[in-house]
Structures are given as C-alpha cells and as structure tokens.
Structure 1
C-alpha cells in the first residue's frame, strides 16, 4: 500500500489490528446517535468493515443507508504493568470518523454467525491517543 494513501499511522494500524471489538455510532431516524458494539476488520486499503449477525436487518445498517456519517471507536485500558504501553494503566484508542456504505462481503470472523452484509467505513478524520511513543498525547487529523 502507498503510505501516502493510508489514513493510519503504523502505530494506529498495529493497535487496530490487535483489537477485535469496537463501537459504531450511527445517526438514528430521530437524528440522535445510536451506538453498538461490533466486530470489525481493518482492510489493507484503510477502510474498515463492520459485521454482525443478520446485519442487513439491523438498525445500524438501516441508519447508514439513510445517513452515511459515522464514528467508530476502538479503545481499551493499558495494563498498569505493561512495559510496552505508552502510558501504563491509562486509556488508549483510535476514533475514526467517516462515511459508511453497505457492501456485500465476508468478514472471516464470526463465520457462520456474521452475515455477508457489511458496513464499510471510509475514514475522513482519525483521532488517536496513548498508542504511539513518538506522539504520546492525543493526535487528530483529517485524512
């Protein structure tokens, strides 16, 4: 992949690749936010695929079809004794804001449980914190 087109830094990509659960926020029919825990996959092209059981019949899927603006958050707490953590014992994570679309594909996780109806996120803004030793505080940028 061309580094100039990847929306993620090496540290963000490594962090996301090591996680299996995120939270997808969509805009509901009443204009308010709706947030759900979801399985996801980071793709080589910098997009993120979100899956779930019977995804096409879910509220999040219908929300994306009505309004594609989303926020996707992956975060956790570094163990207090983790010598590799930027800030041991502190929260860390990546927030991705972007435009989503519904696509057909295969998650390769939750096989036999997740449907082939995916939500694909194309990042427009990335915010990360406490995952990159070269940038230990919050880092935010349009992509």
Structure 2
C-alpha cells in the first residue's frame, strides 16, 4: 500500500470533501463529490446517502480501480506557498465495499455503507515550499 508524506496526511485530515472517479459500464469516467475520512492505516473511507444504490457503488462492483482527488486553492496571503495556486492530493487505488459500517462523517443522512480505498499511488502538489524555498 502506498504511503503519504506528513504534509499530505495533514492536508487530507483538514479536508472533508473530495472527488471520486470510477469507471462506468461503458468505460467512461464517472466523477462525483463525496465525503471522506483518512484512516490511521492510510485507507480512505468514502460515504454518502444510500451509497449502495449509487452508480459509483455499482461501478466499483464491476471495477474496483478508482482515482480520488482532494484539492483547493492555496491561501492568497503574504508568505503563503504559491498564493492562489491549486494544491491537493490524488490517490489511485482499489476499493473494498463495506456494509453495516460507520460512515466517515457523522451525518444523519449518510448510510451505513463505506467505500474503502486502499491506496496504490499517492501524488500531492503545491502543498509546501520545496527545500531551499525556490517555490518551483
């Protein structure tokens, strides 16, 4: 399983919304915003209302390979790393479908189903100034 840098882990812990890309029945990408939680073991739990009835659940039943992106804009303030630039983390991996499981966010409308991503590749961008402060 792929691992995260400390900066990637801290960034993901501070976020609660990402975009999950699955492969549809005709091979087309299917992307949806989802709530998530980074677990201590590095897996990502994704939840939502009536999750097992969703297209993304059906897509993963056929093909468990996914891409998951969490991103935003860097702070537009003095001293920030690349102010106003995009930053984020992409996780590519395989999904395990779990039923009767605590959802990642404590929302009453989330069902007790979880899509758990087991990361195979993690790529972060613009999360911190590189050594030497070049900003490149």
**TM-score under structure 2 normalisation?**
0.90
Is the CA contact (8 Å cut-off) linking 2:2 and 2:121 kept in structure 1?
no
Structure 1 gap ranges (5+)? 138-143
Deviation at 1:37, TM superposition (A): 0.3
Q: In the alignment, does 2:77 pair up with 1:81?
A: yes
Query: Which of 5, 10, 21 is the matching residue for 2:6?
Result: 10
Pick closer, same or farther for the CA change 1:13–1:30 going to 2, 3 Å. Answer: same
Q: In the alignment, does 2:86 pair up with 1:91?
A: yes
Deviation at 1:46, TM superposition (A): 0.2
Give the structure, 1 or 2, with the largest relative contact order (CA under 8 Å, sep 6 or more): 2
Q: In the alignment, does 2:14 pair up with 1:25?
A: no
The total of aligned residue pairs comes to 132
Pick closer, same or farther for the CA change 1:82–1:101 going to 2, 3 Å. Answer: farther
SS at match of 1:25: strand
CA distance in 2, matches of 1:128, 1:82: 22
Structure 2 gap ranges (5+)? none
Q: Where does residue 120 of structure 2 map in the other structure?
A: 124
CA distance in 2, matches of 1:123, 1:11: 17
Q: Where does residue 115 of structure 1 map in the other structure?
A: 111
CA distance in 2, matches of 1:121, 1:36: 15
In the TM superposition, structure 1's runs of 4+ consecutive aligned residues that sit over 3 Å from their partners are 134-137
Deviation at 1:109, TM superposition (A): 1.5
Deviation at 1:121, TM superposition (A): 0.2
CA distance in 1, matches of 2:35, 2:12: 12
**TM-score under structure 1 normalisation?**
0.86
